[in-house]
Structure formats: structure tokens, C-alpha cells
């Protein structure tokens, strides 16, 4: 007399070599996938690995192109900021002159004109006759 | 004879750490019972071998999700059961074990190995097993071959315990009937 378990296990025992082979294959796969233990990359590492690293040759090419442009236009580039400044801003002397002119105009408009000229001759009453010294 | 290691002795914790030797022990322990279970459901040797291998691959991949190491066996059979259902669905089998059975009131669990088979009746028993509805066959196999409790069978198959009781009871009753009929003749 057998149990159902004994009967079934006995019936399928012939397949064990195939199961063993499958097991060995699986274990070899597990072993190989276990060897390089990888940790999860951090945010910056992830950015580097996922975004920048695949584009490294493109970025290098763009960088090289910019360097070539800078070298070819090396003579004109340093003057450009000055030219720009000249074109947009007046010179300090001009600014100063304009400011002085404005100040003069404001003074003329706000101060009343002088009633008597400072260079007038003194009145006769103010002038004392010369006294004789005895 | 199959060397059955008790669940408590199985190196599940070591397997979780990725120890290949632990996986070897686990695979060796479960490969034949798992194959028997899958074969008796799908009835094709190569498909069963593939499903067993897929089950082990899935187990190795998702072992981290197993909370209780002592439940490794039922967890593994649960994966295999799901693989069988996926196969049925992929093959558009309409007879997926979903039949509703009346819940029985008997409380005592049937002992897993209480069906004793005479040598001359072996072929008839195996033939009957193949004719049982898949849900009954599944419950009977899990209970008899691997000795899972009703609760474990319910977890593996994803149905309530009462449904498992009904299925198991009906399967065993059908098996006994056949054996009695065979003995009478």
C-alpha cells in the first residue's frame, strides 16, 4: 500500500536528471549574476551615468568647436566689451559736463537775479569827507 | 527516497543573502515536489520543467519579499501556482479552477496521506487524479504531496479556507469512491 504522495513522487522520479540539469544551470546563472555586486548610484552618479556619460563624445565635440572659435577670434574678442561700453555709455567727462550744465540751469531758475550790482560806486552820504589832521 | 528537510532547517535566511549553496539546498529540496504539482496540473513534461525553472528564477529574484522564512515552501508553491494560472490564461483555457463549491461543515481536516493505494490500483488512481477538476486536483496535491495545511493551501491558491475544505473533501471522496469501485470489481 502506498500513499498518493509516494505514488506521485515515484512516478515522476525519472525526470530528476532533467531537474538536476536545470538546477545546475540556474545555480551557475545565480553565481554569475552575484559576482558583480552593484550598489545603487546616488543622484549625481545617476545623472553622470544616465545623462552625461552617454553624451561624452558629443559634449567633447561641442567643447572642441567652442575652443576653435575662441582661438580663431582671439584678436577681436577682448575689444568687444570696450566697444560695447563705448556704444552704450557716455564717457565720464561727458557725464560730468552734463551734470554741471544741469546744475547751472537749475541755479539760474531757482535764485532771483541780484538787485544791485556788486561793483556799483558807494553813495555820496556814505562817503565821509576827508578830515584835516592838525 | 526523497530527503525532506524540515522548513525550520532550510537555509532560507542564507538564500536571502545570496548564498548559492543555500539556493542549491532549497532547489534540491523542492524541485521534485514542485515538478509533481506542476505536471499534474499542466500535464506536459517540458512545460512543467520550464515552469519549475521559472518558479525558481522568480523565487531567487523576489526572495526579499518573503517575510516569514518558515513559509518558504508555501510561498514557492504559490509562485508555481500563479505560473500555471498565467499559462492557462495565455493559452486561453476557459476551465481555470474557479468553480464555486458549497462549503462543508466538517471541521476536522482530512489527514494528508489517508488515501492508501494498492499496487494494482495505482494506474486507476493516477488516471482519476487527471480527471478531477483542476481546483480539486490542486488542493489534493498540495495537501497530500507537500502536506500543506488548509490555511497554507488557501494562501497558495488564493481562495478562502472554506473553499479549500470543500475542494479537498470532494476530491478525496471521489478518489475513495473509485478505489471502492475498483476493489469491488
Query: Mind listing the domains of chain B with CATH numbers?
Result: 7-90 (1.10.1740.10), 119-184 (1.10.10.10)
A121 part of a folded domain: no
Instruction: Name the residue in chain B with its Cα closest to that of A30.
Output: B20
The per-residue DSSP string of B113-152 comes to T--EE-GGGHHHHHHHHHHS-HHHHHHHHHHHTS---HHH
Residue B146, classified by CB atoms within 10 Å of its CB into exposed (0-12), middle (13-18) or buried (19+), is: buried
Same-domain status, A61 and A80: no
* Residue A77 pLDDT: 56
- Helices B134-144 + A4-11 axis angle, to 10: 100
Mean pLDDT computed over B67-88:
93
Distance from CA of A17 to the nearest CA of B (A): 10
- Residue of B4, B18, B143 to mutate when probing chain A, most A C-beta within 10 A: B18
pLDDT tens for each residue of B25-61: 999 999 999 999 999 999 999 999 999 999 999 999 9
Cβ contacts (< 8 Å) between B141 and chain A: which residues? 8
Range of the domain at A92: 76-109
| Residue A103 phi, psi dihedral angles, 5° rounding | -65, -40
pLDDT at B79 > cutoff 70: yes
- Residue of B122, B147, B168 to mutate when probing chain A, most A C-beta within 10 A: B122
* Residue B33 pLDDT: 93
The residue whose grid cell reads 519549475 is: B52
Cβ contacts (< 8 Å) between B20 and chain A: which residues? 27, 30-31, 34
Same-domain status, A65 and A52: yes
Same-domain status, A88 and A104: yes
* Residue A121 pLDDT: 57
A31 part of a folded domain: no
Residue B56, classified by CB atoms within 10 Å of its CB into exposed (0-12), middle (13-18) or buried (19+), is: buried
Distance from CA of B92 to the nearest CA of A (A): 27
* Residue B73 pLDDT: 93
* CB–CB contact B31 A9 (8 Å): no
CA-based end-to-end distance of chain A: 176
Kindly state whether A31 is in contact with chain B, defined as any CB-CB distance less than 8 angstroms: yes
B91-111 in b/e form (b: 16+ CB < 10 A) is eeeeeebeeebeeeeeeeebe
Nearest to B57 among A3, A5, A26 (CB): A26
Weakest-pLDDT range from A45-49, A101-105, B150-154: A45-49
A6 part of a folded domain: no
Q: Which of residues 75-134 of A touch B (CB under 8 A)?
A: none
* CB–CB contact B116 A15 (8 Å): no
CA distances to A35, B55, B150 from B38, rounded to whole Å, are 32, 10, 19
Kindly state whether A16 is in contact with chain B, defined as any CB-CB distance less than 8 angstroms: yes
User: For chain A, what percent of residues have pLDDT higher than 90?
Assistant: 16
Domain count across chain A: 2
Distance of CA B89 to the CA centre of its chain: 19
* Residue B80 pLDDT: 95
Q: Is B83 helix (H, G, I), strand (E, B) or coil?
A: helix
**Residue among B79, B21, B19 nearest B53 (CA):** B79
Output the nine-digit C-alpha cell for A45.
552618479
Mean pLDDT computed over B132-161:
92
Same-domain status, A60 and A84: no
- Answer for the pair B29, B40: CB distance below 8 angstroms, yes or no: no
A4 part of a folded domain: no
pLDDT at B101 > cutoff 60: no
pLDDT at B109 > cutoff 60: no
A28-58 in b/e form (b: 16+ CB < 10 A) is eebeeeeeeeeeeeeeeeeeeeeeeeeeeee
Output the nine-digit C-alpha cell for B174.
471521489
Q: Which residues pair with A2 in a beta bridge?
A: B117
**Residue among A11, A12, A4, A8 nearest B117 (CA):** A4
Weakest-pLDDT range from B72-76, B111-115, B166-170: B111-115
* Residue A3 pLDDT: 85
The residue whose grid cell reads 513559509 is: B71
* Residue B55 pLDDT: 94
Amino acid at each position: 500500500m502506498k500513499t498518493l504522495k509516494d505514488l506521485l513522487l515515484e512516478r515522476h522520479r525519472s525526470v530528476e536528471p532533467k531537474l538536476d540539469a536545470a538546477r545546475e544551470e540556474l545555480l551557475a546563472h545565480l553565481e554569475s549574476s552575484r559576482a558583480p555586486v552593484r550598489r545603487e548610484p546616488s543622484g549625481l552618479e545617476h545623472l553622470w551615468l544616465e545623462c552625461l556619460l552617454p553624451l561624452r563624445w558629443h559634449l567633447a565635440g561641442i567643447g572642441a568647436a567652442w575652443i576653435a572659435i575662441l582661438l580663431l577670434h582671439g584678436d577681436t574678442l577682448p575689444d568687444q566689451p570696450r566697444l560695447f561700453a563705448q556704444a552704450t555709455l557716455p564717457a565720464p567727462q561727458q557725464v560730468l559736463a552734463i551734470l554741471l550744465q544741469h546744475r547751472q540751469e537749475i541755479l539760474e531758475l531757482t535764485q532771483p537775479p541780484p538787485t544791485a550790482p556788486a561793483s556799483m560806486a558807494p553813495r555820496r552820504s556814505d562817503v565821509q569827507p576827508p578830515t584835516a589832521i592838525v | 527516497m526523497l530527503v525532506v528537510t524540515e522548513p525550520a532547517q532550510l537555509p532560507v535566511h542564507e538564500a536571502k543573502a545570496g548564498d548559492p549553496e543555500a539556493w542549491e539546498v532549497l532547489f534540491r529540496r523542492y524541485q521534485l515536489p514542485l515538478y509533481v504539482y506542476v505536471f499534474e496540473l499542466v500535464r506536459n513534461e517540458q512545460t512543467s520543467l520550464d515552469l519549475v525553472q521559472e518558479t525558481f528564477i522568480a523565487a531567487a529574484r523576489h526572495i526579499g519579499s518573503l517575510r516569514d522564512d518558515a513559509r518558504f515552501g508555501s510561498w514557492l508553491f504559490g509562485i508555481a501556482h500563479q505560473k500555471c494560472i498565467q499559462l492557462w490564461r495565455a493559452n486561453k483555457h476557459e476551465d481555470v479552477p474557479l468553480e464555486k463549491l458549497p462549503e462543508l461543515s466538517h471541521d476536522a481536516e482530512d489527514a494528508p496521506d489517508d488515501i492508501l493505494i494498492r499496487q494494482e490500483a495505482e494506474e486507476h488512481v493516477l488516471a482519476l487524479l487527471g480527471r478531477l477538476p483542476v481546483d480539486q486536483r490542486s488542493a489534493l496535491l498540495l495537501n497530500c504531496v507537500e502536506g500543506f495545511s488548509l490555511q497554507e493551501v488557501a494562501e497558495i491558491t488564493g481562495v478562502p479556507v472554506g473553499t479549500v475544505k470543500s475542494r479537498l473533501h470532494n476530491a478525496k471522496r471521489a478518489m475513495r469512491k473509485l478505489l471502492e469501485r475498483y476493489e469491488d470489481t
